[in-house]
Structure 1
């Protein structure tokens, strides 16, 4: 069994402004760096073997800060755990999405949820295989990635439905054989910050409600 701890990156200015980031590379702000340090200190209560991260700078820096707090080397960058691509919706607020892409209007360049899952799950399996049985690995990634994995592996669990995936939050999974299962949503404790988590839950709902791909 391999344990994977998926961590959402710290806050960015676009998170604060509630703009959809997707594949746009927006760096952490000062609060985001503080959140990453807090998360690293929480994770330091447990033993970890490695940190891997999305190459987008907000996740890569989060991973670097966490790795330093854990006394580990620089994170391995894994492109497949980068954020979902939102195409022409990137940079927009929820209100702008509603105005530009009314219900039923496709968003050019948006990655489907099925495509997201198809690239992320094999990457997580490869990470688990690379570090081996008994390893614990931190994966610094993104809100939509974590949401997609949670929904895929626990489709009948409603405890997390409607719950924001906050900046700096930790979500643990285990790989045993070929099976990935959710151990705990928001593990080990909630990460406190100066403001509520800024996962763009409301306006990403506007994007997802018209998505014909249920995966």
Structure 2
């Protein structure tokens, strides 16, 4: 089994540096182009199904990718929704950090909760599609911190429209194979 994580394409709030979290902000034209570019990275992966977060920016990215790969769009999973930034939703990130260092406070969902949801989503998707290669279209924070947990080291960033791939080894442990469309330095170097 292989999982391909794709961060949704750019939105206007991404462009402006705003925290959008669980706010349902649509893709912009750059985001749609990034989704089409992700098809090229995923193209040779032998994907069986495309699933996503239910937020429109992830769903639209997923539909573009499904169409590009000639697959039917699969279901959405609420567990894949982005981190809830609560009072920080819509704020410029620097403003939120000034008010809540490390984005702790203001009702912002703790990172441990985000990782827990990410891991539960992986378990659910693996149970729903045993042995299948699944492309999962969701959000930067949940991808970054869930994959950091699986890899055992902190990933710096997950770019809009980029692909990260994890595969299971013989013991069933997840191994990071690709991040931001490239082999991670921890593997390649």
Aligned partners of 2:103 and 2:180: how far apart in 1? 34
What TM-score does the superposition give when structure 2 sets the normalisation length? Answer: 0.88
- 1:123-158, CA deviations, whole angstroms, 9 ceiling, x for partnerless residues? 11221222112x211000110011111221122x46
Contact 2:165 2:178 in 1 (8 A): yes
Report the aligned-residue RMSD: 2.0
Of the three residues 140, 143, 150, the one matched with 1:153 is: 150
In structure 2, do the counterparts of structure 1 residues 104 and 112 end up closer, same or farther at CA, with 3 Å as the change threshold?
closer
Of the three residues 162, 166, 177, the one matched with 1:169 is: 162
Contact 2:159 2:180 in 1 (8 A): no
Partner of 2:86: 87
Of the three residues 140, 143, 147, the one matched with 1:143 is: 140
Aligned partners of 1:140 and 1:51: how far apart in 2? 8
List gaps (5 residues or longer) in structure 1: 190-215
In structure 2, do the counterparts of structure 1 residues 105 and 63 end up closer, same or farther at CA, with 3 Å as the change threshold?
closer
In structure 2, do the counterparts of structure 1 residues 104 and 15 end up closer, same or farther at CA, with 3 Å as the change threshold?
closer
Aligned partners of 1:74 and 1:104: how far apart in 2? 36
Contact 1:6 1:170 in 2 (8 A): yes
Contact 1:125 1:175 in 2 (8 A): no
Partner of 1:113: 111
Aligned length: 182
Partner of 1:66: 65
Contact 2:97 2:103 in 1 (8 A): no
Deviation, structure 1 residue 96: 2.0
SS in 1 for 2:136: strand
List gaps (5 residues or longer) in structure 2: 184-189
Is the aligned partner of 1:13 residue 2:7? Answer: no
Kindly indicate which of the two structures has a greater share of residues assigned to helix.
Answer: 2
Contact 1:7 1:168 in 2 (8 A): yes
